[in-house]
Structure 1
């Protein structure tokens, strides 16, 4: 049965909304809400790092679990349940007040976001491939940045009305429910089946595959310190609520446009060079967020973070598949694990260093230096 001509766009839009809720809100709204939580509850940077890392542990575990075949045939149902769960967990955050409770809720939210990420991509990309419209994947990934930008508007509007962080989480829950209804209509079917699954050969740890995994793990460590603490950095410099919102907004808008902006270069130089260049560009932004005075430093940091983190994530997977083309799912699982480990360690190290030094400068510069090292490994992996 042939799909209607509009269905590729409809499925890409479904992916866009799913990514906005899963990543932009469910995963990253913690960043603009965090400063108010730290102030109101007396959380230290180390406490915040623990809560953030719990989310990334959940994401790592969820991505690994989602990679198995248990969801075959029920992908759409799992995506919808995960959307509902993400909304419920945002609401539960508004009712909590301890590090343990926050960490458990963020762990579960990480799992839900991973389920949505993996299984929504399975649905959307299969329909785009069947319609020969792979270019619409950029619309799907653009949802991450749109969700980040929307979360900045939500938190800014909440602050303007005199509301606090608990109301921010309630607003996030409402946006997630609205996203659930949109996805229910947009993603009307599961993935297109292309016959029986073929058993993939095991991953071979060639020197090139080892290097790209080192680069990917370092990327997870380097980007997440800034992605977690950049608004706290703005607050520590007394930038004000409007500056906090603007920094996160430009991060989101840049992320939403990033895939389109990098695609011509990706076609010309390939994924290895794009990962390496993207990490160098991101290193500049990460360092700028604390080296340059506000508002220029955090704004440039937000723009360059947004312009690179989705592109590096997607191009890294392309590089891994280019090295081991016969094992695409296993490659994605291994690289997700490398990325996830870096992501988990990053906020813990960043928060700990901020506790010791009294600010985020050393932690952020360490992240920038690590990204330069990662870029070298990514470039060398091209063989």
Structure 2
């Protein structure tokens, strides 16, 4: 026990101790992405100067502040980071004082030992090895390819079994949630192009529906109030269903006289037989089918993502599975979840 207390005391009085506590603070605020921390610091600096200019630090600078093994740490930057993570001004000052104290202690130790090892000069544009960038490109490409195959498999399954669902957007949902909305759009277009081999040109026409779903899923899971709990994610899938129906119904009415040959057309026929006009019947049947389909698709996507989470995190330590956030919300009901997932648009842009 005494040894453990000594170790904790040593860690507390070191830069690694500050970094460890900084990481814990970031986790407790919902794993705010480094890009979002940078944006918040930039906004605060602009407000402080009064000119509104977004004077944000480099993302690599903020990323380095969370790296263990440092021999120096900028107290002002640490203060800005903890402020961006929601701490008040008193707490910000305490963090800065702690950094100054550790820095002073480190300098005294250097003078006493006559040995002072400093961090090598780092290029702000290269904080991760090029191999890491190549790994991310390979990872993104592999995920997109697998998602296109998932969409094609859904097409084939529905066509073979004549299911009342669509199941043509599982890959789109996975890609939009994991990579970002516009990656989801690319997967949607590629998946529907592949679906032309099964359903003909109709599949490409309805790519617009798939694209709409990708955008809602992709942007929705990145909003703090849309996908932080199971209930909110359930509602997000309902929103996807409504948006997809609003896009699909005009296409059905204008291009296919209300029917596409899908099994859901039987429900449309039931509604028209009961006295509904064609537009109402198509809207009701497509809406009901879409709700069931998007709920199934969304939660199937979560299962796929959670199954792959450990492999994803080995490539990108910033990635957080939606299911992880749901469990975190249940354990910490007062925690504010902010931007729980990464947007991989940054992958294709070299860090400044």
Report the TM range for the smaller structure's normalisation.
under 0.3
Normalising to structure 1: TM-score of the pair?
Answer: 0.26
Normalising to structure 2: TM-score of the pair?
Answer: 0.27
Structure with the larger RCO, 1 or 2 (CA within 8 Å, 6+ apart)? 1
Larger radius of gyration: 2
